[in-house]
């Protein structure tokens, strides 16, 4: 099983990505993260450590594949300036059964949130501020400790 991992500025077609995961699968589970339209946000800019993000997401994907029997896995994370309502991230997992599909999908998002080197900067007109990491993300990831 070769995970498909892409870091890109362009938008993605979630339906097409899920369709591509169908061969050999009995269950598909997915998550899409969107830019929330909060408090007059005008844009969200996502920065990343290019040399490390691919490597880190590959590592997270390999961890998921070692814990659950998966037939396929796709992770797409966008970078650059995104407007409210835009898609940010897709995690899609294919497996024989729903148990592992749901679990792996949630695990991948929880680990991506605390490990993948991206940083979000919110723009409210002329004002910009960095999003702060949340301890609830660490708590969510800690649930998966073996």
Partner 1 sequence: MRLLYFAGLRQKIGKSEETLDLPPRSVAELIAHLKTRGPGYVAAFADETRLRAAINQDYAALDAMIAPDDEVAFFPPVTGG
Q: Which stretch binds partner 1 (CB under 8 A): 21-29, 63-71, 97-105, 114-122?
A: 114-122
Contact pick of 52, 62, 83, 139 for partner 1 (by CB under 8 A): 52
Give residue 71's Cα distance to chain centre: 18
d(CA 43, CA 14): 22
Contact pick of 4, 6, 67, 120 for partner 1 (by CB under 8 A): 120
| Residue closer to partner 1 (CB basis): 4 or 120 | 120
Pick out residues in 91-110 that bind partner 1 (CB under 8 A).
109
CB 53 within 8 A of CB 90: no
Question: What residues contact residue 111 under an 8 Å CB cut-off, 6+ apart?
Answer: 60, 63, 64, 141, 144
Contact pick of 4, 56, 65, 80 for partner 1 (by CB under 8 A): 56
Assess 124 for contact with partner 1 (CB under 8 A): no
Assess 10 for contact with partner 1 (CB under 8 A): no
Q: Name the token pair of 37.
A: 């339209």
Assess 48 for contact with partner 1 (CB under 8 A): yes
Question: What residues contact residue 17 under an 8 Å CB cut-off, 6+ apart?
Answer: 4, 74, 76, 90, 92
Q: Name the token pair of 44.
A: 């969200």
Assess 131 for contact with partner 1 (CB under 8 A): yes
């Amino acid at each position: 099983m070769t995970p498909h991992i892409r870091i890109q500025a362009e938008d993605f077609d979630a339906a097409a990505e899920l369709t591509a995961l169908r061969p050999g699968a009995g269950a598909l589970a997915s998550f899409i993260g969107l830019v929330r339209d909060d408090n007059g946000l005008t844009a969200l800019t996502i920065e990343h450590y290019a040399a490390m993000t691919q490597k880190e997401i590959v590592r997270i994907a390999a961890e998921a594949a070692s814990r659950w029997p998966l037939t396929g896995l796709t992770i797409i994370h966008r970078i650059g300036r995104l407007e409210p309502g835009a898609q940010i991230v897709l995690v899609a997992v294919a497996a024989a059964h729903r148990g592992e599909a749901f679990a792996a999908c949630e695990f991948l998002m929880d680990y991506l949130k605390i490990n993948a080197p991206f940083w979000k900067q919110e723009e409210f007109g002329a004002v910009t501020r960095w999003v702060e990491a949340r301890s609830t993300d660490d708590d969510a990831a800690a649930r998966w400790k073996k």
